[in-house]
A and B are shown apart, each in its own frame.
Chain A
C-alpha cells in the first residue's frame, strides 16, 4: 500500500485547477454538441483565463487544508505543468486523487441530506468534540474511548484508497487513520465473536435526516471478523492531510475499499463484537438489493442497474469496474469458495 505524507499533497491545488478546467470544458462542449446535434465538440482545445478563475478561487478558499495558501494559488497558474507532479498524488494503479473539493463536497450521507451537494452545508458546524466511541460486546476488555485518545493510542497513517459507490461513481481518496485490527486487538475479541457491528450517532436534532422515518435509524453496518481484522480495513480520522470534515464522517468512520461505499459507516459511536451477522440499515431498507457483503463486483449487478462500469469523479468517460475494486489480490481469499452471486 502506498503511503504518502501530507506534505507531498501540496501541488494538488494545481491539479485541481487542471481537472476542473478539463471537466468543465468537456461538459460544456458536450452540452453544446447535443444542442446542435453534434457531439464531437468535446475536444475543443481553448484554455482561457476565465476557465482558470473558479479553480484558483477554490484553492485560495481552502484555508483549512495544510497547504500554504499563497503557494497553492501560485501553483494553480501553470496548471498543466502541475500534472507532472500528479504521479505522487495517485493510487498504486496510477490513478490521480479525486480533487479535494469533490471529496468534501459530493457526499452520500442521508443523516444530513439526500442531496449529495447538500450534505456539506447541512453538516457544517456539526460538533465532533467531545466524542466517545464505545467498544464492547463479546470482548474481554470493553472500553469507551475518547476520540483524541483513539488517535493518540493507535496513531495515524496515510492510505490511498479507491472508493466505489453503489451508485456507480468512484473517487480516489488519501485517508488518514489506523487499522481497525489495532483497536479490536486492544479490546480482545472472545472466541464467540464472529462479526463486528458498527453504529452511527443517533441524534435527530443534530442530524436532521434522522427525522425522516423512511429508514430505521441509526445507521448500522457490519463486517465479518476476518474482514474487520484485514489490514486494508481502516478507521479513518482524516483525509487530504487534515481532520475529517463532518460531511466525510467526522470524527471517525470506517473505510473498506473493496466494498461499496455504503459499508463505510460514518460518525461511529459504537463498535460491538457479536456472534450473529448484523443487519445493516441498507439490508433492512431493501434486503433483495443491498447485501451484507456488498463487495464491489462487476459481475454481480444491482438488481436494477449495472455495476460493470463506473464514472470516476472528474473524468469524462466511464471506466470498467474492477473485481473487489482493484483489491482482489489482497481480499479475494476472504471469500474463497463462497457464491458471490448469492452473498452479494
Chain B
C-alpha cells in the first residue's frame, strides 16, 4: 500500500521535502543559536536564496518534460512555485518587519532609491497573483487568460536573479550562474527551440522503451 503510494506520489513527496528543508534547517539553526553574530541578515539570506532556488526549479519543470519526457516534473511545478512564493514572502516579512520594524518611511526611502530592493519587491509582486490564482478553480475561471497571466513567472525569475546580482559586494560569479540558469530556462521556451525539444523527447522516449 505504502509502496504503491510512494511509487505514484514520490515527486510530490520530494517537492514537499525540498520545500520544507530550508525552513526546517533555519529553525534548527535558530534553536541551536547558530544564526551567526548577525542573525537578521542570516535569516534574510537564508529565506531569499531558497526562494530563488525553488523558483528556478519551478521554471525547470516544463523544459524537463518537453526535452526529457520527465512527466512527473509537471506535477510538482505548482508546488515548487508556491514554496518559492512562500520563501519570498518570508524574506520580505523579515526585511520589512524584523529588519526595518515596519518603518514605512525608511523602507520607502530604500525601495525608491535602491534598485536592488525595488527589483526584489517587484519580483514578489509578480509572484503574488500567480500564487493567488494557482488553484484549479481559478485556472478554470480564467481560461486562456490564466496561461498568459502565469507567464509573469518569467518576469519574476529575471527580477529575482537581478536582485541577487545587485546585492553582492563585488564577486558576481555565483549570481551570474543563477542568472544563466534562468536565461537558459527561458530561451528553451522559445518557439525556435521546439524542434530540438521534440527531437530530444523522442530520443529519450525511445531509450526508455528500449530499456524496458
Contacts and interface: CB of A to CB of B under 8 A. Distances in A.
Contact of A27 (B30, B93, B109, B117): B30
Contacts of A106: 36-38
A81 to B, nearest CB: 22
Nearest to B167: A304
Interface stretch (B9-17, B70-78, B99-107, B187-195): B99-107
B43 A31 contact: yes
Contacts of A3: none
Contacts of A105: 37
Contact of A34 (B39, B94, B117): B94
Interface string B1-38: 00000000000000000000000001100110101111
Interface string B78-100: 00000000000010011001111
A311 B42 CA distance: 13
Q: Would you call the interface of chain B mostly helix, strand, loop, or mixed?
A: helix
A106 B173 CA distance: 23
B209 interface: no
A317 interface: yes
B169 A167 contact: yes
A124 interface: no
B114 interface: yes
A141 interface: no
Contacts of A23: 39
Nearest to A54: B33
B170 to A, nearest CB: 5
Given A34-B93, A102-B37, A308 B106 contact: yes
Contacts of B36: 106, 116-117
A24 B35 CA distance: 9
Nearest to B171: A214
Interface residues on A, range: 35 or more
A20 interface: yes
A44 to B, nearest CB: 14
A20 B33 contact: yes
B167 A169 contact: no
A304 B43 contact: no
B170 A286 contact: yes
Interface residues of B, number: 35
A136 B90 CA distance: 54
A317 B113 contact: no
Given A27-B35, A27-B39, A169-B38, A306 B114 contact: yes
A301 interface: yes
Contacts of A314: 37
B110 interface: yes
B41 A301 contact: no
A65 interface: no
A214 B173 CA distance: 9
A341 to B, nearest CB: 14
A28 interface: yes
B121 interface: no
Interface string B166-187: 1101110100000000000000
A305 B90 CA distance: 20
Given A20-B33, A305-B114, A306-B110, A311 B171 contact: no
Interface of B: 26-27, 30-31, 33, 35-41, 43, 90, 93-94, 97-101, 106, 109-110, 113-117, 166-167, 169-171, 173
23 contacts: A20-B33, A27-B39, A31-B26, A31-B30, A31-B43, A34-B93, A34-B98, A39-B97, A39-B98, A169-B38, A215-B170, A282-B170, A285-B170, A301-B114, A304-B115, A304-B116, A304-B167, A305-B114, A305-B116, A305-B167, A308-B109, A311-B40, A314-B37
Given A39-B98, A117-B36, 7 more contacts: A24-B33, A27-B30, A34-B97, A116-B36, A304-B115, A308-B109, A311-B41
Interface of A: 20, 23-24, 27-28, 30-31, 34-35, 39, 54, 101-102, 105-106, 114, 116-117, 166-167, 169, 214-215, 282, 285-286, 289, 301, 304-306, 308-309, 311, 313-314, 316-318
